[in-house]
Amino acid sequence: NKRCYLQCGGGVTLGNNVTLSYGTVILTQGLDTCDYISNSKNKYRIHKSGDVHIGNGTWICANVTICPGAKVANNCIVAAGSVVAGNLVENNCLYGGCPAKKIKRLD
């Protein structure tokens, strides 16, 4: 879809039949927030990276941001505007929010 952004400094794995809706952002690198106060004083800050995995049959709705290292299970829906900052491990679920969490099962 239009305006999707995949930052591929780390790995991105998309399963079969994945839908990325308008404005999806998948990030695989970002600033390291450990000891942020000290790190913020550095001209060249420390970065971290993490592979992103999206399972088979999953629909990532409009304007979702997926953070480095996140995993989304199979046959899930991630609601519009959500931020996936961790692992959404249960298959067949609707997830949403900031950070995204399980809302309900789809079966």
- Which pLDDT value is given to residue 97? 98
Q: What is the pLDDT along the chain (107 residues), one digit of tens a residue?
A: 899 999 988 899 999 999 999 999 999 998 887 888 888 888 888 788 999 999 999 999 999 999 999 999 999 999 999 999 999 999 999 999 999 999 999 98
- Which pLDDT value is given to residue 47? 82
- Which pLDDT value is given to residue 54? 98
- Which pLDDT value is given to residue 81? 98
Written as one string, the DSSP assignment of 13-45 is EE-TT-EE-TT-EE--EEE--TTHHHHTT-SS-
- Which pLDDT value is given to residue 39? 80
Residue pair 77/103 in contact (Cβ under 8 Å)? The answer is no
Q: Please calculate the CA angle 81-59-69 and round it to the nearest 5 degrees.
A: 70
